[in-house]
Amino acid sequence: MASGRATSNAEIIAAIKKVVPDARVDLPTGGTTPPRHLDITRIQQDTGYEPAYDTERAVAEYIAWLRTGNER
């Protein structure tokens, strides 16, 4: 997902728990490396691109996809 901003593990955990409240998610809290993300400014300026997915929607749809029997 290219949203043009960094997504923290805390945001991903929150999105997972919104769909699966009792999920046990073990992700590191982070390190000392600055967050990196894809800069989508140019594609937005050139084409008008806007991300169709935010973290919550992407996680919810991925979990739904897994629940239908798909594999990673």
Residue 31 included in any domain: no
Q: What is the pLDDT of residues 34-56, one digit of tens each?
A: 777 788 889 999 999 988 888 99
Structural domains counted in the chain: 1
Q: Is 0.85 surpassed by the pTM of this model?
A: no
- Structural domain includes residue 48: yes
In a domain, 30, yes or no: no
Q: Identify the band that residue 33 occupies on the pLDDT scale cut at 50, 70 and 90.
A: confident
Q: Which helix (H) or strand (E) holds 19?
A: helix 9-19
Burial level of 12, CB count in 10 A (0-12/13-18/19+)?
A: middle
Specify if 3 maps to a domain: yes
Range of the domain at 10: 1-24+38-72
Judge whether 50 lies within some domain: yes
SS3 content of the chain, % helix, strand, coil (to 5): 45, 0, 55
